[in-house]
Amino acid sequence: MKITVLTLFPEMVKCFTSESILKRAQEKGILEVRVKNLSDWGRGKWKKVDDTPYGGGAGMVFRVDVVVGAIKELKHKNKKAKVILLTPQGEKYDQKRVQMLSQEEELILVCGHYEGFDERIRDYVDMEISIGDYVLTGGEIAAAVIVDSVARLLPGVLGKEESHQDDSFSEGLLEYPHYTRPEEYEGKKVPEVLRGGNHKEIAKWRKEKSEVRTNERRPDLT
Ligand code: 4G4
């Protein structure tokens, strides 16, 4: 899968995508992350990408000609690429959407700043996503969240040890509690059932704990 990130701060995005599992996925050729500087499409001597808002008010707005110019050029090579705007006004991101995006062959993630995008840009994008109900200084962290969450679902990215088969959310439930050595810490013992080797009992215990935890903490998921 190919993911192109369009940003004013390429180093910010590279920082997240050039380490650990994402680095390995790119080395293996499963994932290709390209980071493009929006300033390359900027106007004039100063490569300006933004301007003051019509109607007045504080802040700056990304220019439609600059952003759409970049989108058109990036989409030219692959018409199937899906263009996604990262904004607080987008559809809320969740594991269902991660799964959906992981089926695409190419994503183009557009990171905003300042007060946001000229409204007309929305006519040239396929989706608008928000990673949650809070405001960030820019869309870069949201883009990193999408790259990371999508990449780990691509076949071959996670090893057996890191498998996402029993992830939280893969069954629409929160994860059961995990334990490792020591068997006892400050009087807190690892549950008996996990120390016996009865796999059927263990599976039953885990399912039950998942359900209880989901009902207690996230009743909205059920
Ligand atoms: C577009 C419009 C995404 C992009 C305004 C981006 C939160 C999210 C931005 C802005 C973002 C999210 C500067 C407010 C960049 N903040 N929840 N900021 N702002 O996904």
Distance 2 CA to ligand 1 centre (A): 23
Closest CA relative to residue 108, chosen from 50, 135, 136, 68 = 68
Tell whether 64 is covered by a domain.
Answer: yes
Which residue, of 103, 123, 151, is where some domain finishes? 151
d(CA 210, CA 35): 39
Q: Stretch 137-142: mean pLDDT, rounded?
A: 98
Pocket of ligand 1 (CB under 6 A): 86-88, 112-113, 116-117, 130-132, 134-136, 138-139, 142
d(C-alpha 30, C-alpha 157), whole Å? 7
Q: Which pair of tokens denotes residue 84?
A: 């996604």
**Of the candidates 113, 62, 87, 78, which has an alpha carbon nearest to the alpha carbon of residue 2?**
78
Is there a catalytic annotation at residue 34?
no
Report the pLDDT value the prediction gives residue 43, as an integer from 0 to 100: 98
User: Does 25 lie in the same domain as 127?
Assistant: yes
Do residues 204 and 134 both lie within one domain?
no
Indicate if 122 and 202 belong to the same structural domain. Answer: no
Domain ends where: 151, 180, 204? Answer: 151
CA of 145 to the centre of ligand 1 (A): 13
List the CATH number of the domain containing 147: 3.40.1280.10
**pLDDT per residue over 142-192, tens digit each?**
999 999 999 999 999 998 877 776 676 777 899 999 999 999 999 999 999
Looking at residues 97-103, what average pLDDT do you find?
Answer: 98
217 is known as an active-site residue: no
144 and 171 housed in the same domain: no
Whether residue 124 sits in one domain with residue 51: yes
114 with 60: CB under 8 angstroms?
Answer: yes
Note down the domain range covering 55: 2-151
Rounded to an integer, the average pLDDT of 7-33 is: 98
Tell me, yes or no, whether 31 and 129 share the same domain.
yes
Could you tell me if residue 158 is inside a domain?
no
CA dihedral 170, 211, 94, 97 (to 10 degrees): 40
pTM: 0.95
Same domain? For 6 and 113 the reply is: yes
- Among residues 167, 171, 175, 211, which one is catalytic? 167
Domain with residue 204: its CATH number is 1.10.1270.20
* Same domain assignment for residues 35 and 89: yes
Q: Which pLDDT score, from 0 to 100, does residue 166 have?
A: 61
Total number of domains constituting the chain: 2
pLDDT digits (tens, 9 = 90+) for 48-97: 999 999 999 999 999 999 999 999 999 999 999 999 999 999 999 999 99
Asked whether residue 14 falls in the same domain as residue 67, the answer is yes
